[in-house]
Structures are given as structure tokens and as C-alpha cells.
Amino acid sequence: MQIYLPIAEVSVNAFLLLGLGGMVGILSGMFGVGGGFLMTPLLFFIGIPPAVAVATEANQIVASSFSGVLAHLRRKTVDLRMGTVLLIGGLIGAALGVLIFNYLKSLGQVDLLVRLCYVVFLGVIGALMFVESLNAIRKTAKGSAMPTRKKHGMIHKLPFKMRFRVSGLYISVIPPLLVGLSVGILAAIMGVGGGFIMVPAMIYLLGMPTKVVVGTSLFQIIFVTAFTTMLHATTNFTVDVVLAVLLLVGGVIGAQIGTRIGVRMKAEQLRILLALMVLVVCGKLAFDLLVMPSELYSVGAVGGH
Amino acid sequence: MLRWLALFILIALPTWAEEVVLGLSQDEVAITTSFDGSEILIFGAVKREAPIPEGELGVIVTIAGPPEPVTVRRKERRFGIWVNTDAVEFDGAPSYYAVASSAPLEEVLGIRENLEHRVSVTSKLNAVGAPNSVLDASSYVAALIRINTAAETYQLLEGQVVVDEDTLFRTRIRLPAALTEGAYETRIFLTRDAEVVASYETTIDVRKVGLERWLFVLSRENPFWYGLMSLAIAIAAGWTASAAFSLLRN
């Protein structure tokens, strides 16, 4: 069934969009990532103009994360206090990110920089997570004790300490604020929710328990992507609500299924799967940058990318 | 039926030398939610008082979508990766352009005539912002045409205009699903020995209707409320699906 999208101004198959939404929704629920880093390139691939894909994707992430966060709230696996601290950093970061984005746009190289950001961040995070989860799995297989709690290093000497009961942490608010801030900047530049960066940052930098990480990152993502959606809608007019609704109908159902799969799986397995997926997307993007494209020319609107 | 219509027009109207009388299967294209492209039948007749003049008759039909500025960028390998380097701006590239002719274009239209009336797609494109570093602006023109042709937004339909008895002509032109709104300038040229002897212009109105129109207008005129509405719809759908799912489970 073909459907004409009013803002994107293209006609696409409605079932294809529902399927894409569902698939990415499952991943979103399982890993607590918004799925934007997968969905945005997929939308380019089916012929949605990049500007519309990025903006609409932000809108869709709000919905899929919302249904995911409700599921997590019921199971009390959201650290609202930590989420709020991360969110404050995230909103400041998103605003900064938009400024940086517009500056790069005026230089005319925003497309390349977005891709390089993807390759670098996905590559580093994917590799780190992969190695770490492999080690964890090997340790449990040997029957040795669980990895020891985080060492008390620099992070515990910072001022403005706060108790995060749900996460079982008593740390300074500065690290989570900085994590939120940097994720916000990257999210705005790369046009994604930023969960794939935030989830490992929460686990490895802040030392939060994996079960809480997913719900808390979804909570933060909702607000940051809602903010991004409004920015795109009011400045670039590129949010396509029909496209968003189709993606999210598949997405919300997928997220519910994904959340249930995620609960049944072991944290290490979950992490190694996410790491593999991140590495695959990174590899594909790097491949596209390195191999000579079949069409050397591209057509775009004046001033856009 | 076409023939009778043409005959009727021939008898009923006064004439000069040779003239075009035109009919369109539709002069409005409504973009609805289920819009998946459209095909327009363009038909007409050559009206004349005197006997059929000397020279080979040619008929050319063009449809042009609203012009818009575009940038064509070229990639080059820098430090091992493919990077956009040079760019050429086109002032008013038609968002859609189709040329249909009764024979290969060079045969029915002279070079000078082509430039004067801007018939071929190349003559419609004006490169304006070519920096000094770009020496081969023509390869950018070729790329623009190649990419748009692949997307069906530029079409060269040589020999697709059927001419009957030097009088009646008809052709079908497909409008793809990815259409920009606006007035689509439709032109018919009548040529004798590759020279234009008569022409006719009209417009096909392409516009969104119903829900499509409402959303589009809202997103442009009230972007803030449109954004809020999009978020509200997204959150409502997310919540409903979540609630429905947990109801199902219990």
C-alpha cells in the first residue's frame, strides 16, 4: 500500500515503514537505545530526504522511548533522580550541539563530519563493549566471582555529592552532568537520541547497574529528542508527522516486545549483542567512506546537506 | 472520439496559418494520501485553413515543474576517504521536466530554435555558482540530468508523440509520485523542417488536497503548534500501545 508523505513529498510503502519501525522498536526496547543510529540511515536508504529523516526520527524516538519507559517505570527500573541530572546536561548539550551543527553547515562539510562522528563513536564504543562483555562472559564461565565493584578513584573526590538510591550510588553530580552534556551535543550533531553512547557511559563511567541504565537512558532520551523535534519543526519545517506515526505504530509494539526479551536475557549477552550491532553499523559507514561511490555527484537543496 | 473532437474544433474555429488545439486528460493533479504518481494524456490537433504545407511536421510536448535552486556536489578522495569537494549551484532547475517528441529531438528541432525556446533539459539549466576551481561545469549538468533521469523526474520521451495524418497528435506522460506542488508549465511546439511554426502553453495544477494539504499548511504557518501536535500524537500513540499491550497480557 503506497502512501504519500506530505512533508517528505515522496510516496513509500506503508507496510515497509511499519516493518522498519517494528524492527528498530524491538532493538530499542531490548537495549535502551533510541534506535536512531539504525533508523536514520535506513530512512536515507528508502529514499526519504536526509533532513526529513533526521527530524522525523527524533519525533519517532520520543514515542518508542515513551512506551519503553512506561514498561520500565512499572518495574521500577528508572532512576528518576539520575535521569533528571542527565537531562539537565542533555538539554544544554543539545542547544550547544545545534549551534555547532549550524556552524559546520556554514562550512559546507556537515555531511562528512556527521559520518565521521558515527564511525569514530560507534567504532570505539562498540569495540570497548565487545571486549568488556567477552571478558565478563569468560569470567562467569570459569565460575569465578562477579567483577568487583568500582574502585574509588578521581570520580569520588569531586564535590556536590548526591545520593542516587535506585542506582545505589553516592557520587558527585558533575560526572552525570558532563555525560548528559556531551551526549546532548553528539545527539544534536548526529541526529540521534544518543542512547548508544549514554548506555555505556552510564555503565562504565558512572558505574550504574545495567538493569537501571536502560530505563534511565530512555527517560532522558524522551526529553532531549522532544526538544530536538521542536527545534527541527520550527526552524527547518522537516518533521513529517505521517511518516512518524507509521514508524511509531510499528515502533511502540516492537519496543514492548523488545523490553520483554531484554528482561529475560543476561546483562552480558545483551551488551555483547548491542556491541556487535554497533560494530556492524560502524563497519558499513566506514566502508561507504572508503570505497569509491558509484555516483560521484550528489544533488541537494541550496544551503542544505 | 478524439478524432471527432478534433474535427469539430477544425470546423468550428477560425484559423491563421497553422495552430495547435490542445486537450488534457486532466489539468489538475490532486495529491492525496494514496497518491502514487499519475499519467497525463495530452492530445490535440493542428488547425489550418490552407492545405497542408510543405516540410516535415514535428510535435514536441514539454511539462516543467516549478523551478528550484539546487546544489550539485562532487566527491573526491582525500586522505583515503571520499569527501564532497567542489559544488556547482543551479539557479532554477525544474523540479520535474519531461520532453516528448514525435521523432528524435535533433530531427524535429533546430539547435537555435532549441536555445530560443529552451526545450531540451540542458537548455533549461543555468549553472550560476560555479567556483573558479570547477573547470568542467558541464559534467555537473550531466550529473544533475543523470540523477534526475534515474529518479524519473527528468524524462526524454523521443518518438513518443503519435501523429496521425499530419493533424492529430497524442502522447502520455507519467508524473512520478515524488512531485513538488505548483503550476506545471505545459508547452506544445509545432515544427516544420525543425523550425517552430506554432506553439501553445497551458498549466497543469499540481496540489496537495485534504489531510495532506492541511498538514503541509500547518507545518509552514504554525510550526510551533505543528511540532507540539506531532509530539502529542507520538506520545499518545506510545502510551496507547503500551497500555493496550499490558491489558492484553493480563
Taking a C-beta distance cutoff of 8 angstroms, is the pair B221, B43 a contact?
no
pLDDT reported for residue A259: 76
Residue B110 has pLDDT above 60, yes or no: yes
Q: Show me where the domains of chain B are located.
A: 2-208, 210-250
Q: Where are the domains of chain A?
A: 2-290
Confidence of residue B148 (pLDDT cuts 50, 70, 90): confident
Alpha-carbon gap, residue B237 to B100, rounded angstroms? 47
Specify the pLDDT at position A145. 47
A290/B80 Cβ within 8 A: yes
CB contact under 8 A, A234 and B223: yes
Q: Is-contact B193 B56, C-beta < 8 A?
A: yes
- A194-A222-A278 Cα angle (round to 5): 25
The nearest alpha carbon in chain B to A74 belongs to: B246
Pairing of the two strands B195-208 and B28-31? parallel
What is the C-alpha separation between A213 and A222, in angstroms, rounded?
14
Position A110 scores a pLDDT of 66
DSSP A166: T
Q: Which three cell numbers stand for residue B4?
A: 471527432
The residue among B200 and A166 whose pLDDT is bigger is B200
Whole-number pLDDT of residue B15: 41
CATH topology of domain B2-208: Immunoglobulin-like (2.60.40)
Q: Are B206 and B96 in contact (CB under 8 A)?
A: no
Q: Which of A237, A248, A249 sits opposite B220 (nearest CB)?
A: A237
Residue A71: which of A255, A271, A220, A268 has the closest Cα? A255
**Other Cβ atoms closer than 10 A to A301:** 12
- Cβ <8 Å between B84 and A297: no
For chain B, percent of residues with pLDDT exceeding 90: 0
Q: Is the pLDDT of residue B64 over 50?
A: yes
Q: Is the pLDDT of residue B8 over 60?
A: no
- pLDDT for B13 equals 46
Question: Closest-CA residue in chain A for B90?
Answer: A302
Measured distance CA(A273)–CA(A277) in Å, rounded: 6
Q: Collect all residues with Cβ–Cβ distance below 8 Å to B137 and sequence separation of at least 6.
A: B88, B127, B130
Asked if residue B206 lies in contact with residue B32, where contact means CB atoms within 8 angstroms, the answer is: no
More confident site: B129 or A116: A116
ipTM of the complex: 0.72
pLDDT given for residue A301 in this prediction: 64
What is the distance between the alpha carbons of residues A180 and A217, in angstroms, rounded to a whole number?
A: 10
Instruction: Please give the C-alpha separations between residue B184 and each of A48, B71, B89, B204, in angstroms, as whole numbers.
Output: 23, 22, 22, 5
Of A2, A63, A241, the CB nearest to B34: A2
Full pLDDT tens readout for chain A, 305 residues: 788 888 877 888 889 988 888 888 887 777 766 677 778 777 877 878 777 887 888 888 787 777 778 878 888 888 888 889 999 999 898 888 877 876 776 666 666 777 788 788 878 878 888 888 888 878 777 655 444 444 555 666 677 777 777 777 778 888 888 888 988 887 777 767 777 778 878 888 888 888 888 888 888 888 888 888 888 788 777 788 888 888 888 877 787 788 788 778 777 777 788 788 878 888 887 887 787 777 778 777 654 43
Rounded to whole angstroms, what are the CA distances from A203 to A83, B17, B87?
Answer: 14, 84, 44
Q: In 3D, which of A258, A298, A274 has the Cα closest to residue A25? A: A258
Are A301 and B69 in contact (CB < 8 Å)? yes
pLDDT tens digit sequence for B149-197: 888 888 888 888 888 888 888 888 888 887 888 888 888 888 888 888 8
